[in-house]
Structure 1
Amino acid sequence: MVYLSDDIIVSEILTRAVAKVVGLSKSVCKQWYALLSTEDFAKKHCSLSLSSSNQRILKVGDLRCTVHTIDIESCDYGPDTIVNFPFNDISIHSHLDGLLLVCLEREFDMLLWNPVTRAYKNLSTPDFLGMYLNNHDAIGLYIDASEDYKVLHITRRRGVYGVHVYSRRLGSWRNIPFETRPEYTQPNFYWSSGTLCGDTLYFTLSGSYGNIAVMCFDVNLEQFKEISFPPVPCVGIYKGELLNVKEELHMFVSTGYREMSIDLWKLEGEHWTKVFSFPQMMTMDQWCSMTHFMTNGNWQVMTKQGRIYEILIDTKPFKCFYHPTCFRLKNGAMFLETVVSPTL
């Protein structure tokens, strides 16, 4: 009989197990609990978990959440698991390595939450750092070159911008400088949530009738710069939603009024190139707010309204967005199951 040491079982076998198995394995003995609770184990397990089989759908309801598997062949939901969350009226703004960046609609608190381990960290402080105001603030979740998970929080209070960065490693906020055009401080300008691609967080900045610019934040240099919006005709309403597709930044741009035309653009350097166009359609949510994205060969996107769509990338020309299933809930997210902790 071949004997396997605890170190081999943990580092070579359990790093490849699903997150729930890791959680159950912590109760085997004190030594396993210690080994499975290290940051090195979480990093290795996370790197081996980045596959479509670990992709999950989170549905947020009143006082409870449910997590669903996805049938890759049918793109339908599997059985659900109830996840108890001690808050209600939440909005989900970002996901990274199994962590969700969540805001509480009533209390305005900001949290990092892992739906698998049920662990969360409230990032708000008594002196009002980490307090999120809808339509005034923008937030983004990222990891920097030192492998520290961080949150960028852009605030606008009485026409004045403030920018703070939260470090999971330090467990605290700090201020960083930020200057922008005076017109962007007006109340009719809005920022999207941040989309991480490579070492940059990207935000769309919109005015009264649509997006006008893209703001970039270098997560290592901690510097901002502005680039142009894709060259679309200013006819009716137009809006862009950013997506990270295999570490290349793309943007769905919807234009029109009652019927929306949708184009997909790709950022090359600081310029946008059109990838393809979709015909006008009524089946999509008009604002096409695709803030949560994962891929498993075909593209699956989730709107802010909670609808799931699939883009059949082998269909030419592209005829439509197909929605394999829908649900009418205010919030939801697509995420990967990991054991990454919101705290150290």
Structure 2
Amino acid sequence: MDFETGEYDPHSVLPLPFQGVKKEVWILANLDGLLCVCLSQTHELLLWNPTTAAYRHLATPAGHGLYEDNADTVGLYSDPSNDYNLLHLTRRSGMLAAHIYSRQQGNWRKIAFKTNPAYHTPKLCWSPATLCAGTLYFTIFECWVVGRNVVIGFDTSTEQVTEISFPHVPSSGIFQGVLVTVRNSLHMVLWTGREYMSLSLWALQGQNWVRLLSTPAVPPIPLSLWMTITHYMTNGRFIVMRNSTKVFEIRVDTKAVDCYYACSWFRGYTGAVYAETLVSPFAVA
């Protein structure tokens, strides 16, 4: 899909250079043209550049680089030495472990990732990471119902973890947020309610959330029309993808969103918006 020209219909089919079929390939993260994908049948993690077809298996005989759905999450980032890194968080038996894969070194290392032990339970959902100003952010929430909601930040330079509260919005029923980076600033698209849903956009300023816009409460619509916000374009539009993979855009600079149910449940698996680059999954000589 070419977003620069406005041609949003699929114009080419990319063959998979690795063994697997498309429905078994989950897209978990993307950065600078590199995609981190999981092969759902083998649980292996790969780094893949769809433009050059280069890819690299990250799984090891020691058990690193294997991804479990609903228990793990990942985040891609780059450091000042031009090394691309993958943070892989795993939850097993109520314990959280963190490992970082270095493209330059070609290996995994374990790091400390100190969070509240209550977040390690499988009853809580961790979102894929959103990279903003050198920090990877995750949302942690109790699925579909009001409960514990928090944002965790991982500073990629110091490898320190911080906790940020959700925006304070009185609500009952569903209470979820999706993080997006807008002009190097962290934003959250938040929806609340039960039968009638309200949507709002918040920006993080320091440790506080500032509301930028909100919509009136709207009635529910069929499940087949649920969407997820996947990307923010620099021209002031959000790109959203329906669970049938049809792409839409929302112009936030002209009017509020009329009516849709946001849903982060499908986020990150069916597609990604990425720039075509020559960045290699392998170390740069």
Shorter-chain TM-score range: 0.7 to 0.9
Q: What is the one-letter code of the residue matched to 1:298?
A: G
Aligned to 1:77: 9
Q: What is the one-letter code of the residue matched to 1:149?
A: Y
Q: What is the one-letter code of the residue matched to 1:255?
A: T
Structure 2, unmatched stretches of 5+, are 261-268
Percent identity of paired positions between Structure 1 and Structure 2: 39
Q: What is the CA–CA distance in structure 2 between the aligned matches of 1:129 and 1:335, rounded to whole Å? A: 26
Aligned mate of 1:152, from 80, 87, 96? 87
Structure 1, unmatched stretches of 5+, are 1-67, 322-329
Aligned to 1:299: 237
1:139 paired to 2:74: yes
SS in 2 for 1:135: coil
Show the 5 A alignment for 1:5-16.
Answer: none
Q: Deviations over 1:232-278 (max 9, x none)?
A: 22311111100011111111111123443211111111110111012
Tell me by how many angstroms 1:187 deviates: 2.0
Aligned to 2:273: 334
Q: What is the CA–CA distance in structure 2 between the aligned matches of 1:242 and 1:143, rounded to whole Å? A: 19
Tell me by how many angstroms 1:281 deviates: 5.6
Structure richer in helix, relative to its length: 1
Q: Deviations over 1:113-140 (max 9, x none)?
A: 1001011111111111111101111110
Tell me by how many angstroms 1:181 deviates: 1.5
Does the CA-based 8 Å contact 1:91-1:104 persist in structure 2? yes
Q: What is the CA–CA distance in structure 1 between the aligned matches of 2:123 and 2:44, rounded to whole Å? A: 24
1:127 paired to 2:127: no
Q: Deviations over 1:1-27 (max 9, x none)?
A: xxxxxxxxxxxxxxxxxxxxxxxxxxx
Show the 5 A alignment for 1:151-170.
Answer: 151-170=86-105
Q: What is the CA–CA distance in structure 1 between the aligned matches of 2:97 and 2:156, rounded to whole Å? A: 17
> Computing the radius of gyration over CA atoms, which structure comes out larger, 1 or 2?
1
Tell me by how many angstroms 1:194 deviates: 0.3
Aligned mate of 2:136, from 193, 201, 211? 201
Q: Deviations over 1:28-66 (max 9, x none)?
A: xxxxxxxxxxxxxxxxxxxxxxxxxxxxxxxxxxxxxxx
SS in 2 for 1:332: coil
Show the 5 A alignment for 1:88-103.
Answer: 88=21, 89-103=24-38
Show the 5 A alignment for 1:313-324.
Answer: 313-319=252-258
Structure 1 residues 71 and 195: alpha-carbon distance in aligned structure 2, compared to 1, 3 A threshold: closer
Aligned to 2:266: none
User: Could you tell me the TM-score, scaled by structure 1's length?
Assistant: 0.72
Tell me by how many angstroms 1:282 deviates: 4.6
Structure 1 residues 183 and 111: alpha-carbon distance in aligned structure 2, compared to 1, 3 A threshold: same
Aligned to 1:273: 210
Q: What is the one-letter code of the residue matched to 2:2?
A: T
Tell me by how many angstroms 1:312 deviates: 1.5
Tell me by how many angstroms 1:165 deviates: 0.5
Structure 1 residues 125 and 284: alpha-carbon distance in aligned structure 2, compared to 1, 3 A threshold: farther
Kindly report the root-mean-square deviation, in angstroms, between the aligned alpha carbons of the 2 structures.
Answer: 2.2
Q: Deviations over 1:295-321 (max 9, x none)?
A: 151313234723423121331355457
Does the CA-based 8 Å contact 2:151-2:164 persist in structure 1? yes
Does the CA-based 8 Å contact 2:89-2:97 persist in structure 1? yes
Q: What is the CA–CA distance in structure 2 between the aligned matches of 1:123 and 1:82, rounded to whole Å? A: 21
Does the CA-based 8 Å contact 1:294-1:335 persist in structure 2? no
Q: What is the CA–CA distance in structure 2 between the aligned matches of 1:183 and 1:263, rounded to whole Å? A: 28
Aligned mate of 1:240, from 161, 165, 177? 177
Aligned to 1:108: 43
How many residues are matched?
267
Tell me by how many angstroms 1:103 deviates: 1.0
Q: What is the CA–CA distance in structure 1 between the aligned matches of 2:113 and 2:273, rounded to whole Å? A: 31
User: Could you tell me the TM-score, scaled by structure 2's length?
Assistant: 0.86
Tell me by how many angstroms 1:288 deviates: 4.9
Q: What is the CA–CA distance in structure 2 between the aligned matches of 1:294 and 1:120, rounded to whole Å? A: 26
Q: What is the CA–CA distance in structure 2 between the aligned matches of 1:284 and 1:176, rounded to whole Å? A: 44
Q: What is the CA–CA distance in structure 1 between the aligned matches of 2:44 and 2:242, rounded to whole Å? A: 20
Show the 5 A alignment for 1:185-264.
Answer: 185-208=120-143, 209-210=145-146, 212-264=149-201
Does the CA-based 8 Å contact 2:37-2:45 persist in structure 1? yes
Q: What is the CA–CA distance in structure 2 between the aligned matches of 1:175 and 1:127, rounded to whole Å? A: 13
SS in 1 for 2:239: strand
Runs of 4+ in 1 over 3 A off after TM superposition: 70-73, 281-289, 316-321
Q: What is the CA–CA distance in structure 2 between the aligned matches of 1:176 and 1:94, rounded to whole Å? A: 20
